[in-house]
Structure 1
Amino acid sequence: MQIFATFEHSTNIELAISELEQKGIDDLFAVPLDNRTEERNLFDTIHRSDGVSLSQTGLFLAVIFSTIGASRGFVLDWGPIYWGLIGAFSGFVLGFLFDLFVQKSVKKKQRVHRGKASEVILIVDCEECQKEQVEKLLWNNLALGVAKVNG
């Protein structure tokens, strides 16, 4: 039976490995995962999207600014249609620039901090009778996830 577990790159995985070796399980394989080196694309393509929308705030502000512009346009020179379009355009640009700033500065810092601790995958080959004991040991050493495969 094979048991797969993921750990943060910390001393917890070292403790888990040493405890497994003390229990007589020597068939272990640990694989560290590499961190992402290239920067994520900020703009989505037609084939791939990361779920981050840069136009959502822009569209929201476009509706608000166009409504205000159209209502104020009744008393201004160019009329409500022009001022509504000017308000929609300026609201969209303002919202788009705000989302772009937030994604480039604030979210980038969060991604960098989150990506520092890469994970390690630990593969344990054990007997069927040791399955419960190994799984409990892995969970006690703060495994992020555990999976069992009969093989």
Structure 2
Amino acid sequence: MQLFSTFEHTVHIEMALATLEKKGIKQENIFVVPLDNRKEERKVFDNLHRSDGTSLIDIGAALATAFSVVGASIGFKLAWGPIYWGLIGAAVGFLIGFAIRLFTELIIKKRRRLLKGFHSEIILIVDCEESQGEMVENILFSHFAMGVAKVK
């Protein structure tokens, strides 16, 4: 029987390995594989086939609405009239909102990702007898395994 489990890159995996060896699982039957971190930068702009779920136009749409109302209101007193000034206000509001969102995605969230320090996960494969399967699974979960799967 083989048990597959995933761990974060912490000291808990070392403690799990030590506990498994104390319980009689040989070191030759334990296989640890670290996953590689992503090398390329994440793309800010989405395409048709891939989206990360963040929208760059949400703040722009809200500011476009607000600025167009203010522009149309003030436009009654100005030379070009309320329609043109409403459209100008909408364009300015959208561009300001888009710039704010682009700044937060490129600068602020990039810093936050670097501070968090995303580390790769580790896959642990344990080859054991079926009678030891339940014990090994309990050991892995008690040492904070993110998930465990059994293959007979």
Same fold (TM over 0.5): yes
Query: Is the Cα–Cα contact under 8 Å of residues 35 and 115 in structure 1 kept in the other structure?
Result: no
CA distance in 1, matches of 2:112, 2:129: 42
Which amino acid in structure 1 is aligned with residue 106 of structure 2? K
Which amino acid in structure 2 is aligned with residue 12 of structure 1? H
Candidates 133, 139, 142, aligned match of 1:140 = 142
Alpha-carbon shift at residue 113 of structure 1 (Å): 3.2
TM-score normalised according to structure 1 size: 0.92
| Partner of residue 29, structure 1 | 31
Deviations 1:36-78 (A, max 9, x none): 1111111111221111111111111111111121122112221
| Partner of residue 95, structure 1 | 97
1:2-151 pair list within 5 angstroms: 2-26=2-26, 27-149=29-151, 151=152
Which amino acid in structure 2 is aligned with residue 24 of structure 1? G
Deviations 1:6-29 (A, max 9, x none): 112122111111111121112111
Q: How many residues align?
A: 150
Alpha-carbon shift at residue 115 of structure 1 (Å): 4.2
TM-score normalised according to structure 2 size: 0.91
Classify the secondary structure of the residue corresponding to 1:85: helix
CA distance in 2, matches of 1:113, 1:24: 40
Q: Kindly report structure 1 stretches of 4+ aligned residues shifted beyond 3 Å.
A: 113-116
Classify the secondary structure of the residue corresponding to 1:6: strand
CA distance in 1, matches of 2:3, 2:130: 10
Classify the secondary structure of the residue corresponding to 1:147: strand
Which amino acid in structure 1 is aligned with residue 78 of structure 2? L
Identity among equivalent pairs (%): 58
CA distance in 2, matches of 1:110, 1:2: 38
Alpha-carbon shift at residue 112 of structure 1 (Å): 2.2
CA distance in 2, matches of 1:16, 1:87: 61
The answer for unaligned runs of 5 or more in structure 2 is none
